[in-house]
Amino acid sequence: MAASQDWMSKDFYVALGLKKDATEAEIKKAYNTYARKYHPDRNPGDKEAEEKFKAASEAYQVLSNAEDRKQYDAIRSMAGGGARFSPGAGGFEDIFSNFGGGNVRFTTNGANPGFEDILSQMFGQGAPQANSQGGYGFFGSRRRPQRGADVETSISIPLRQAVDGTTVTVTSNGEKVTAKTPAGIANGQKIRIKGKGGLGQNGGERGDVLVKVAVEPHPVYELDGRDVYVNVPVSFDEAALGATIEVPTLEGNTVKVKVPAGSSSDKVMRVRGKGLARHHGPKGDMYVRLKVVVPKRLSEEARAVVEQFRDVTADADPRRDFAQMAKI
């Protein structure tokens, strides 16, 4: 990025909430925080948030580049943190309170100087020289193209779309961009949209957009990476005596699962290959978690049978060793 007269009046460190000795990592972290907080997608119609987002983006473009940051710091230091321009009898003057131990006057015989003209008087042949991109490099240096910053955003999709794949739309730099999510995308997985991120500098390519995908909660299924857990209600007799039940899968069909006799709530059984699809390799697995359901109301006949069951199983105390196990 070419040195700009605006640099004298803009405090890029303040724009990102940083100290002047901030490290590269601190600069990147601050930018990501501000970009997420003030991104137009999260603040639709909020002009103040939009301006803060733009200011943070501009500040990051300068401070994330070592050469630009060096130039910026030098200019701000010479200007004492801010420039004062006034038209005088001899033309245009710029007063740098910290340059050369005193004030320096620049005149152009009444003409209106550009920023590069002022720097030319300051540094002579070391002033900015035009580069191939039409900008100016500081102290005669030619600037290298710099890739734009990556932009991070997030989006949520229903489980059905995560299983089948879908097309999502996000906004980057005020521009709507779309991307396809692959079938079987996992919760928290990121997709990359190439060349739609921050603008490059000095002819550099644009950065990318990184979209973090959150899969919305489902009343039956729970995702764990590529595996899926499904809570299946079973009756008391099915859990006690054993049974074969049908369990729905993500694919829309059902599979038969054998419930062993004497099963309790939260017993888990694995069904291989019925989880989320992978780009390469086998699918994840489905884990069936049993939930024993006890009737809230019993008929007199059912109650009598349960009481009889209680009497004949009086020696089977489910909490026999519980008190001992609970000691700490």
The type of residue at 216 is E
- Other beta carbons less than 10 A from residue 322's beta carbon: 9
Q: What is the mean pLDDT of residues 128-133?
A: 44
Q: What is the mean pLDDT of residues 17-42?
A: 87
CB-based contact 283:163 (threshold 8 Å): no
At 177-208, the pLDDT tens digits run 898 998 888 889 999 999 988 888 888 899 99
Q: What is the mean pLDDT of residues 124-140?
A: 44
Q: Among candidates 104, 99, 80, which has minimal Cα distance to 11? A: 80
Backbone angles phi, psi at 150, to 5 degrees: -75, 145
CB-based contact 253:228 (threshold 8 Å): no
Task: Give the up-direction half-sphere exposure of residue 21: CA atoms within 13 A in the CB hemisphere.
Answer: 0
Cα distance between residue 110 and residue 107, in whole Å: 7
What pLDDT is attached to residue 76?
Answer: 78
Helix H segments across 150-221?
159-164
What pLDDT is attached to residue 96?
Answer: 42
**Is the pTM here over 0.75, yes or no?**
no
CA 267 and chain centroid, separation? 36
Highest mean pLDDT among 20-24, 36-40, 92-96: 20-24
Q: Is the pLDDT of residue 89 over 80?
A: no
CB-based contact 285:276 (threshold 8 Å): no
Q: Which residues contact 37 (CB under 8 A, 6 or more apart)?
A: 49
Q: Is the pLDDT of residue 144 over 90?
A: no
Residue with tokens 């086998």: 282
Highest mean pLDDT among 82-86, 136-140, 142-146: 142-146
At 250-264, the pLDDT tens digits run 988 999 999 999 999
pLDDT top residue among 71 and 263 = 263
Residue with tokens 């733009």: 54
